[in-house]
Amino acid sequence: MYESLNNQQLISIANEFGSPVYVYHAEKIAQQYHKLKEAFSGHPTRFFYACKALTNINILKYIKSLGASIDCVCINEVRLALKAGFEPKQILFTPNCVDFAEILEAQELGVNINIDNISILEQFGNRFGSGYPVCIRINPHIEAGGNYKISTGHIDSKFGISIHQMRHIERIVKTTHLHVQGLHMHTGSEIKDINVFLQALDIMFDMARHFPSLEFIDLGSGFKVPYKDGDPETDVFTLGSKLTEAVKEFEAEYNRTLEIWFEPGKYLVSEAGSFVVKANVIKQTTATVFVGVNSGFNHLIRPMFYDAYHRISNISNPNGAERIYTVVGNICETDTFAWDRVLNEVREGDYLLFHNAGAYGFEMSSNFNSRFKPAEVLVKDGEAHLIRKRDEFSDLLRNQVEVL
């Protein structure tokens, strides 16, 4: 049975490795993976971890050990995946607006390739013909996802090849004899309503009728996890059974079995991650009480970039009286994590915990203000392992070339 990390464990990790620190809990990742496996057990389904959410090599190795495959959006992620031990066939490369040379590198490495642009499709077809199978990323123009910035299926989106360009895709496939092995879509992140997936699946079936020898349909991701108390999680069990039914029905007509692929990022690693920071100062102004912590959007940018809500707990004083705070960072830029947040009384030196920090947390961090990127710790079988050292001063100068 999975049990989340308790405050004492997190405090001792922060004491041992310093703060701010990202802490990942392996067993929580496993729990999420097994939930997906079970929910879709009615039909052959593969899960490609969208590793841009969190690419620490230990996380990649751990997720591989669970049996997952991996989705990469950059050739360097492909290389990291190979280094973590994934086989080329377990790797799906889903780039956007990259140079054709990057696609060629992926082809040489032998990984599955998703093509999301007519011009690339044409170049690839001219070069490889039927010699290297491809998957085509379709933009179904479904509006979905928690925030416009994380929706990718809308009409103004740069992702995918529009369903309205089907004739053009067909022309290229016919002329170059490309072997289309799969169709892909990814409409966005944080989809609460499973009907969005089912609606997308119907569109994919319509597309599939144009390609007689598909092996899979890839529905991308968008699985939502709860960020706020009472937030829903995508109901993967209902989705799993409805999807199984729909695919079986389509297979009868299509006369082939079709694997279903998904690319969960957030779903696997978001809740497994905790970000522990320290309250540097309590600052009473005429308008509010600020808690200034030893971090900022240089370490966790989701609240400022996506208006994301992260639950915050005072793990040093969990029974303190509830007070209202505005939680801000220490960088010279307005970096507000949360306005008007009720927290157990915060004293200078207390550790605060940001929940759901596993996905797009460390991964989007930077050295803005010449601050160090935080350390990362993995807790597995009750033991805490340092999996990335905090930056040190020399890291700030590492790639700089002093000419003066």
**Sole residue written with tokens 């989809």:** 191
Question: What is the footprint of ligand PLP within residues 13-72 (CB under 6 A)?
Answer: 50, 52-53, 71
Q: Could you say which DSSP state residue 129 is in? A: G
Minimum CB separation of residue 15 from ligand PLP in Å reads 31
Q: Given phi > 0 = left and psi -120 to 50 = alpha, else beta, which region is 12?
A: alpha
147 to 186: interface string for ligand PLP, x by CB under 6 A: ---------------------------------------x
* Residue 263 binds ligand PLP, judged by CB under 6 A: yes
The yes-or-no answer on residue 332 being catalytic is yes
Of the candidates 51, 74, 135, 332, the residue annotated as catalytic is: 332
What's the one-letter identity of residue 47?
F
Is there a contact between 337 and 328 (Cβ–Cβ < 8 Å)? yes
Residue with smaller CB distance to ligand PLP, 152 or 326: 152
At residue 147, the 3 state secondary structure works out as coil
CA distance linking residue 339 with residue 341, whole number of Å: 6
Minimum CB separation of residue 374 from ligand PLP in Å reads 20
| Torsion angle in degrees (nearest 10) through CA of 27, 33, 38, 40 | 170
- Please choose, out of 104-112, 219-227, 275-283, 321-329, the segment that lies near ligand PLP by the rule CB under 6 A: 219-227
Minimum CB separation of residue 193 from ligand PLP in Å reads 15
Minimum CB separation of residue 53 from ligand PLP in Å reads 5
CA dist list (Å): 183 to 271, 285, 298, 346: 30, 55, 37, 51
Residue with smaller CB distance to ligand PLP, 51 or 172: 51
List own/partner pairs for 69-73 with CB under 8 A and 24 or more apart: 71/263, 71/265, 72/111
Among 267, 325, 337, 354, binds ligand PLP (CB under 6 A): 267
Question: What is the footprint of ligand PLP within residues 182-211 (CB under 6 A)?
Answer: 186, 189
Give me the active site residues, please. Answer: 332
Interface residue list for ligand PLP (CB under 6 A)? 50, 52-53, 71, 73, 94, 186, 189, 220-223, 263-267, 359
